[in-house]
Amino acid sequence: MSNSTILTILDNLEKLHRSLLRLAYDKTALLKSGDMEGLDQLLKDEQAHLAAISQMDLSRQTAVANYLKDQGRSVPLNPTVANILDAAPEVERQSLEEARDRLLHAIHDLKGQNDLNQKLTYQSLQFVNLSLDMIRPQMESVTYSKNEIAGTKNSSGERSFDSKA
């Protein structure tokens, strides 16, 4: 297995993550506009992207494991690009590091956008709950306590239990 295969896989992973980032930007716009039908379709597109990324990541792990085997090195349980950087020649190491850094940058951007979308979703949920609380009538207590029947109420400062007794 050559480094060119691993580089191709890393480039494809970066493209998929950049595409998912564009979907995350679209999701932000949909959340702001409140377009639930568009959001539903976008979530389906996201699921397809995530499945492709998962499949591509399995290919990356396989390619890294094969490269390490070809170099006569031990293969860890979850092989990463960092595992092959020591085994790769200097010329290939630089291109692998650049591809890895581009992918990590895309993942970092995606994480930031997803955090924003999560906050927007939470705020929307808070607004919906607040609106429902304002519309929905408040339930009054249908039972009476012993003191309310007798016509007295405990104030918040009075205790009903005497700890000195």
Q: How far apart are alpha carbons 100 and 14 in whole angstroms?
A: 9
Give the chain's mean pLDDT.
85
For residues 117 and 39, the answer to whether their CB atoms sit within 8 Å is no
**Residue 158, pLDDT score:** 54
Task: Look at residue 49 and tell me if it is in a domain.
Answer: yes
Task: Look at residue 145 and tell me if it is in a domain.
Answer: no
Mapped onto helix, strand or coil, the DSSP state of residue 77 is: coil
Q: Output the six-digit token pair for 160.
A: 């009903």
Confidence bin at 13 (pLDDT 50/70/90) = very high
pTM of the model: 0.74
- Helix 3-33 × helix 36-70 angle, to 10°: 160
CATH number reported for the structural domain that contains residue 69 in this entry: 1.20.58.300
pLDDT for 97 beyond 80: yes
Task: Look at residue 164 and tell me if it is in a domain.
Answer: no
- For residue range 99-154, what is the model confidence (pLDDT) as tens digits? 999 999 999 999 999 999 999 889 888 888 888 878 877 666 666 566 666 666 55
Q: What percent of the chain has pLDDT over 70?
A: 82
Task: Look at residue 156 and tell me if it is in a domain.
Answer: no
Q: In this structure, which amino acid lies at residue 151? A: G
**Residue 92, pLDDT score:** 85
> Number of folded domains in the chain?
1
Task: Look at residue 114 and tell me if it is in a domain.
Answer: yes
**Residue 21, pLDDT score:** 96
Q: How far apart are alpha carbons 133 and 3 in whole angstroms?
A: 59
Confidence bin at 87 (pLDDT 50/70/90) = confident
Confidence bin at 24 (pLDDT 50/70/90) = very high
Q: How far apart are alpha carbons 141 and 157 in whole angstroms?
A: 22
For residues 49 and 137, the answer to whether their CB atoms sit within 8 Å is no
Task: Look at residue 121 and tell me if it is in a domain.
Answer: yes
For residues 42 and 96, the answer to whether their CB atoms sit within 8 Å is no
Which structural domain range is residue 129 located in? Answer: 3-135
Is the pLDDT higher at 155 or at 66?
Answer: 66
Task: Look at residue 144 and tell me if it is in a domain.
Answer: no
Confidence bin at 28 (pLDDT 50/70/90) = very high
Is the pLDDT higher at 25 or at 87?
Answer: 25
**Residue 62, pLDDT score:** 93
Task: Look at residue 157 and tell me if it is in a domain.
Answer: no
Is the pLDDT higher at 48 or at 127?
Answer: 48
**For residue 30, what are the contacts with CB-CB under 8 A and spacing of at least 6?**
38, 39, 42
